Amino acid sequence: MENLINGILKHKRKIIIILGIICIFRIIQSIYIYEIKYKSEEVNEKKEAVIISLEKVDEDKISYLVRYDKNNFLLNIYLTDKYEKNDKKEENINETYSNFKYGDKVTFRGKITIPTLKNNPYEFNYKNYLNSNNICGVITTSSLKKVGEKYGNYIIRFANYIKEKIYLKIDTTLKEKERGLYKSMIFSDDMDLDENINQSLQNIGLSHIISVSGANISYIILLFTIFLKANSKKKSFFLTYIIVIYLFMCGFKASLFRACIMSIIGIFANLANIKLKKYTKVIFSFYILVIYNPYVIFNVGAILSYFSILGILIYNNEITSFFDVHLRKILKIPYIFSSASKLKQIIYIILNKICNILSFSISVQIATLPITIYYFGKFSLNLFLSNLLIYPLLLIHGIVGFSCIFFTFVPFIVDLLYNAEYLILNVTINLIEFLDKINFLVIKIPKISIIYIFIYYVILFLFRYRKKFILYFKKSHLVIMKNAIYLILILYICIVTFNVIYIKYFENYMYFFNVGQGNMALIRYNQKTIVIDMGSTVEKEASNILLNFLKAKCISKIDMCFLTHMHEDHINGIFEICKSVKVENIVYSVPKEESYEYTKLKEFIDVFNISTIQTDIFDTFNFDKIKIYILSPPSNVCINASDIANANSQIILVSINNNNFLFMGDATCESEKYLISRIENMKDTKLKTDIYLKLKNLNVFQVGHHGSNSSTSLEFLDYIKVKEGIISASKKVYGHPDKEVLERLEKYGIKINITEKTGAIKYKLN
């Protein structure tokens, strides 16, 4: 071992060059696999894949991680038709498709999808998320057939076999809530984690306790050292094997991979009596992780894991020393600790332990604060109290919880351990729920720019190493440099604070989002939020885009949501949005014919007790300097056309400080003709003049029915005057927009923006 190390040190430069070449090659290979090799396509022939793991069981689908074409893919099996509900059939399908195990060979037909961004603000980059977890894309199918078993790596098969036995014991011993939390904390498996507990953990800033990483490896090493004795070399190799098996059991989570590499390096460094510098393990583990998957740099868990460990390495000792010095001063404990009274010694030891926990927590928070805000949009000031109260329980859980794993195959002892673990988990859950109830110090912060994050870490570096940094300057400049660092810090805080306040309270804008084939627009003015339509032909796409936007802008309430008509590509986002965001009013016109979507919406409104407003033609809403006119349809007249639902779509005119926006929904040529006739025959001359003048001075016109030829007639374009037209459509779905409609718009000199090409379109509102 020593000869090997000496040889490495002797040829250090050559080895670094070789490692660099390997890294570059791996990066190029990954770019080819993730960016070039696979494209979205239909799979009409039967294809084979091997099951790697069960990922998730949802209401409408079951998801597996599979090995296909020598790479990993997420395979989604959709269970039921969205317009039909058959609980018995769904139960049978669940039984059929949720029992595949690691190593099962399966065949499928379906569709391969490589996610792409739609260029909406704050859009979740699903492709990067998949790639960072070593997944190339998504396979969608409606059926799966097993044709073989026991494929794949035998070590992983063994790890999964052990995991199955452990899960069987967990499922038969622990209750539902405790079982879900236990699996999450031991294996980072949140499939059974109670949603309320998960939300509570996020609210109190303790999401990291269900992210398996370094602490879990520490418990394994501790228990291994206690229960197993062997000579140093055998112990090291056997412990390494156990850590690797545990890594396979947890599905190669990036944060755990980091911890495993660092632990194994530490084990063999101790075996060879080598003292490593404190950053060596971090750097080497990052290198191995990048070799494994270069796209890990986009993995949130890995990012937080590395910044957390760096925060501990850089700040923990300094903060601990700071607390220790001031604690001794407060308690008046002399330098010689034994000369203090017994009472003071006991008080000091207790307070010192508390300070150590706080030091650890503060170190992590300093290093991860901007990243936490960037990804989660909130920061809890109660998190220090949460860590202080939960941390002792986590220590006990770690020892008892992993002892349960070690003694899985030992009767009686394992039952005693699981009973003890149940009590610990039960107390932990009650404490989490209690902390969430008293958690009134949550600060929601808009998503900050990457530039601000970069500046934060530059300032952090300058501030941490200010004493070394100022040594490079003349003594006469030391005071200036020291004050300059503090001034930069104060300016940074002021600029970020001003930016946050502006975004939350003073920024006014309108967005037309790119939801593919569908419609969704948002108006934000004087802290009021209005959404017009919320749907897409891709289920949950509109709601996901809007939720990410609202979260990034710290908007927790939608004041009014207008649904122009009851088609899924205009309304299906509302069902998910209302579960996360308060919607004060849903505004719609009663459809002239019953539909599945309308029935579903009425049932949903009743369940969530949402206030509704049903409109009639020429209804007006004066809403905090926003004036909204409903121009169609009438409540007591059905506009006749081949498509009744579209012909009776709402037409909405929005006026804000002389900026006028017209939303056509899916209104048809018949709707346009009816509208012109009703305006011309209006008896209320004041309202007629008001509407007429605004239609002759439109800033933006959302083109009807996604640019279909059934809308936007020459007669209507002649009646209105428009500067800019917005078409929200996806060409590959229904072929919208129509070429003839585009020619009509160009004829009238209207600038055309198609969301599929431009992404989301923003207008500033003064």
The tens digit of pLDDT for each residue in 103-126 reads 999 999 989 999 999 999 999 999
Instruction: Please provide the DSSP assignment of 390-429 as one string.
Output: HHHHHHHHHHHHHHHHHTTTSTTHHHHHHHHHHHHHHHHH
Q: Distance of CA 159 to CAs 53, 63, 164, Å?
A: 12, 21, 9
Find the angle CA(466)-CA(472)-CA(475) to the nearest 5 degrees.
Answer: 90
Residue of 472, 467, 503 lying closest to 485 (CA atoms):
467
What's the pLDDT score for residue 11? 65
Q: Copy the structure tokens of residue 764.
A: 């500033």
Q: Copy the structure tokens of residue 684.
A: 């209320």
- Bridge pairing between strands 138-141 and 71-78: parallel
Find the angle CA(729)-CA(732)-CA(734) to the nearest 5 degrees.
Answer: 65
Tell me the pLDDT tens digit for each residue of 567-599: 999 999 999 999 889 999 999 999 988 888 899
Residue of 378, 402, 53 lying closest to 207 (CA atoms):
378
φ, ψ for residue 621, nearest 5 deg = -125, 120
Contact 388, 406 (CB under 8 A): no
Ranges in the chain, pLDDT < 70: 1-12, 80-96, 227-231, 335, 337-339, 439, 469-478
Find the angle CA(516)-CA(559)-CA(687) to the nearest 5 degrees.
Answer: 90
What's the pLDDT score for residue 82? 44
- DSSP symbol at 89: H
Q: Distance of CA 728 to CAs 124, 317, 332, 340, 748, Å?
A: 20, 56, 71, 76, 19
Q: Copy the structure tokens of residue 374.
A: 């960037």
What's the pLDDT score for residue 84? 43
Find the angle CA(328)-CA(320)-CA(267) to the nearest 5 degrees.
Answer: 135
Q: At a CB cut-off of 8 Å and minimum separation 6, what does 231 contact?
A: none
SS3 68: strand
- DSSP symbol at 573: T
Q: Distance of CA 269 to CAs 274, 287, 614, 638, Å?
A: 5, 17, 72, 81
What's the pLDDT score for residue 710? 92
Tell me the pLDDT tens digit for each residue of 234-254: 788 888 888 999 998 888 888
Contact 310, 367 (CB under 8 A): yes
What's the pLDDT score for residue 130? 95
Contact 532, 562 (CB under 8 A): yes
621-627 long-range CB contacts below 8 Å, 24 or more apart? 621/560, 621/587, 623/528, 623/530, 623/559, 623/560, 624/525, 624/526, 624/528, 625/525, 625/526, 625/656, 625/657, 626/523, 626/525, 626/528, 626/530, 626/654, 626/655, 626/656, 627/654, 627/655, 627/656
φ, ψ for residue 604, nearest 5 deg = -65, -45
Q: Give burial (CB, 10 Å; 0-12/13-18/19+) of 75.
A: buried
Contact 384, 358 (CB under 8 A): yes
- Give CA–CA dist 672/158, Å, rounded: 68
- Give CA–CA dist 239/276, Å, rounded: 20
Torsion of CA 380, 386, 387, 392, to 10 degrees: -170
For 653, half-sphere exposure in the C-beta direction (CA atoms, 13 angstrom radius) is 25
SS3 78: strand
What's the pLDDT score for residue 10? 61
130-134 long-range CB contacts below 8 Å, 24 or more apart? 130/74, 131/30, 131/34, 131/293, 131/295, 131/298, 132/254, 132/293, 132/295, 132/296, 132/297, 132/298, 132/299, 132/302, 133/254, 133/299, 134/72, 134/252, 134/292, 134/293, 134/295
Residue of 298, 256, 302, 258 lying closest to 126 (CA atoms):
298
Contact 672, 741 (CB under 8 A): no
What sections of 561-696 are H helices per DSSP? 568-571, 574-580, 596-608, 644-647, 669-680, 685-695
SS3 275: coil
Q: Copy the structure tokens of residue 8.
A: 């490495």
- Give CA–CA dist 672/718, Å, rounded: 11
- DSSP symbol at 34: I
